[in-house]
Amino acid sequence: MTEYILPILIFLGFGALSGILLLVASRVLAVKTDETEAQITEVLPGANCGGCGYSGCEGYARAVVHDGVATNLCKPGGAEVMNKINAIMGKEGGVFIKEVAFVRCNGCNTATEDKYTYTGTPSCAAVDKFYNGKGSCRFGCAGYGDCAAVCDNDAISIINGVAVVDEARCLGCGKCVAACPNNLIFIRRQTSTVALRCSSGDVGKVARAVCRNSCIGCKLCEKKCPNSAIVVADNHAIIDYEKCTSCGACVEACPRKCLVNTRCLHSVKS
């Protein structure tokens, strides 16, 4: 019987020693958690969308606590989350301006045509690899909804062959911007109500031939803007939102009606 006792005791001794070593290692090597960071991470929505400019919610919380980064950068969280972060940090004030996505294309089914029939994978990125897409306008929306597929808030729909954003649902996270192979989507402040629904880089004659809703670079908008907030470059109008006051002068001047007041665009979902 005694021949079994010694091995058992040795085994138990090694087990106890291993437990002690693991306990010591866990204490010595433990990563200390900043309580304030944890509190801010808790109030963030957990979308990890990167819209704030950081890798995720934890990264943003760390930057707020240790680098003094602004508390109003969480686009999905909005003003409510900003106020909660302010309370945790003992701050007051701050302004949150909602940002939304906008699709710079109105090449709908009645305005343009396809140059070939595509039967491959129903994806904007896939069709773009074949002769710059199937549309007559090589700059236009392919309409397969790669942007809608990555939207977590169901804010994008394909209507008449073109992606359309429902501003009421959009959180401005920017996932759709990265998903569009033609770089048609940008994020703008919702308070800026003028936008161009075209990204054509073709000269006016070609743009007019391939799409009835295209910008032709006529520069009437540029001439009519009282704030020098709009110029024509790369054959289409470009708006400087730092100067734009949303007066609507360019919208009225545009003969092609591709400059629009976004307040007049109907939401695609309720």
Judged on CB neighbours under 10 Å (0-12, 13-18, 19+), 123 is middle
Instruction: Give percent of the chain with pLDDT exceeding 90.
Output: 75
Please determine, for residue 200, whether its predicted confidence score (pLDDT) is greater than 90.
yes
54 Cβ neighbours under 8 A, 6+ residues apart:
60, 63
Q: Where along the chain do the CATH 1.10.15.40 domains lie?
A: 35-89
Class of domain 35-89: mainly alpha
pLDDT of 47: 84
> Which CATH fold topology does 99-264 show?
Alpha-Beta Plaits (3.30.70)
Report whether 262 contacts 167 (CB < 8 A). Answer: yes
Is residue 267 very low, low, confident or very high in pLDDT (cuts 50, 70, 90)? very low
pLDDT of 2: 60
The separation between CA 257 and the C-alpha centre of its own chain, rounded to angstroms, equals 26
pTM, entire model = 0.79
The separation between CA 91 and the C-alpha centre of its own chain, rounded to angstroms, equals 28
pLDDT of 12: 63
> From the DSSP assignment, how many helices (H) and strands (E) are in the chain?
10, 8
Residue 135: phi and psi, rounded to 5, are: -75, 155
pLDDT of 63: 93
172 Cβ neighbours under 8 A, 6+ residues apart:
51, 75, 76, 98, 99, 100, 101, 187
Please determine, for residue 22, whether its predicted confidence score (pLDDT) is greater than 80.
no
Neighbours of 162 (CB within 10 A): 22
pLDDT (tens digit, 9 = 90+) per residue, 240-256? Answer: 999 999 999 999 999 99
Q: Where along the chain do the CATH 3.30.70.20 domains lie?
A: 99-264
Is residue 126 very low, low, confident or very high in pLDDT (cuts 50, 70, 90)? very high
Neighbours of 63 (CB within 10 A): 19
Is residue 33 very low, low, confident or very high in pLDDT (cuts 50, 70, 90)? low
